[in-house]
Structure 1
Amino acid sequence: MAGVWEPGHRIPPEHELMAEYACSRMTVNKAISALTERGLIDRRKRAGSFVAAPTMHRAMLEIPDVAVEVERRGRRHSIEILERTEREGDSDDRRLLAMTAGPVLALRGIHRADGTPFALEERLINLVIVPAAADIDFTRESPGRWLLGHVPWTDAQHRITATAATAAQAAHLDLHPGAPCLSIERATWRTQERITHVRLLYPGDHALSARFIA
């Protein structure tokens, strides 16, 4: 979970783990089996056990970090943080982060491509799970890029809808109020712990890409 072993890394053989942790082969086998059941390890016949790729890496729909989207288009990415609030989670925060109590970091920012509004981001980060986020300057590195690079996760869920921009949203995106937009909501987990919830609002002409894996 610390990310020291990246997806695809081969787990040491059982006899090495037995020696390192001074335990029986049965204990090692049970531990690896439990991690396999949770989707953290892939066991391959005659090849060994390997760190599994996060579930979304095998998903058909790829939704990369906004900074990556902009850079892939050959444009310069920047982000302006419009609001940043560290607070005790309210009822809506707790619902979106599936938490009972604790502090959260609420962010609102506008992503730009060569200075032109590209996407409006509204994000909650669970500070119980990711306390280091409270000290990060997200104007230097976007929240999505920082989380993907520093916080291991095991599962993700997306919700994609068409919506109309409110007056405030339209002002940030240089659109007319009521203009069609594409809304992408994403939640990511580390096993049972929900790390973050983000809503990205794009102008209606934004396109998604899909990739099918055999």
Structure 2
Amino acid sequence: MIRDDLEAKILSREWPPGAQIPFEADLATRYGCSRMTVNKVLTQLVQAGLIERRRKAGSFVRRPQSHSAVLEIVDIRREVEALGLAYHFEILRSEIRPAAADDAERLALPAGATLLAITCRHFAARQPFCLEERIISLDAVPEAGETDFADISPGAWLVARIPWSNAEHRIRAAAAAPSEAASLLIEAGAPCLVIERRTWDQARPITHVRLTYPGDGHEVVAHFAPTGA
């Protein structure tokens, strides 16, 4: 089918975000069909949030632009739906294991403490939107180890169920490692925006998460007011 072929080119990033799609007449010639058929397929891709059509310019692969608030814990589903795109997520890896040395750096967990390590991929209109790599202290949140996260993502589940008193954000630019690039369908070494967050309930650590976004489609924002006289 024409739609399947065009969709595959977009999702594989053979046509990357911002790329112009061939004109209707060219696609009709390529697939041996009428322009009306091509127009209907392109309309379906617009409705799926994969492309946008610009008057007198043509059709382009949509480049989602999302925003994260620095001073808030934002649900990724809300980020995606605010763009007018369909959202879903999938769990790539999940394991319960003892805390290792680098976990102590990430969440100040004592060696041997039990944690849940979970990796989740979020999608916007069937395109990878964000990679979530999270550890959760099972000493603080034992019920997380019994949850399959089939219907709700780990971050949304934690915010809805577990109280937290303070959080720390770290934001930086980074080149996509090969494993991250494969998950996000981008080139290894491509620029990414990385947001790392730790949360506590008083002095008790709850979770550390690393959120990796393709750098060309995300920005962070902070709203603040002057303090003092």
TM-score (normalizing by structure 1) = 0.69
Matches within 5 A, 1:13-32: none
Any conservation in 1 of the 2:170–2:197 contact (CA below 8 Å)? yes
Aligned to 1:67: 77
Aligned to 2:89: 79
Uncovered stretches (5+) of structure 2, i.e. residues with no partner = 1-68
Uncovered stretches (5+) of structure 1, i.e. residues with no partner = 1-58
- The yes-or-no answer on 1:211 pairing with 2:223 is yes
Residue-by-residue CA offset, 1:89-145 (whole Å, 9 max, x unaligned): 111123322121421000011110121100011000000000000111223101110
| 3-state SS of 1:200 partner | strand
Letter in 2 for 1:73: L
Letter in 2 for 1:64: V
- The yes-or-no answer on 1:132 pairing with 2:143 is yes
Q: Deviation at 1:209? A: 2.0
Shift >4 Å, 4+ stretches: none
Any conservation in 2 of the 1:62–1:210 contact (CA below 8 Å)? no
Letter in 2 for 1:77: Y
Q: Deviation at 1:147? A: 0.4
Letter in 1 for 2:201: R
TM-score (normalizing by structure 2) = 0.65
Residue-by-residue CA offset, 1:44-75 (whole Å, 9 max, x unaligned): xxxxxxxxxxxxxxx96345121221122222
| 3-state SS of 1:69 partner | helix
**Corresponding residue pairs, total:** 156
**Greater Cα offset, 152-161 or 96-105:** 96-105
Any conservation in 2 of the 1:123–1:198 contact (CA below 8 Å)? yes
Q: Deviation at 1:213? A: 4.7
- Select which of 124, 129, 145 maps to 1:113: 124
Report the Cα distance in structure 1 between the residues aligned to 2:128 and 2:172, rounded to whole angstroms.
Answer: 20
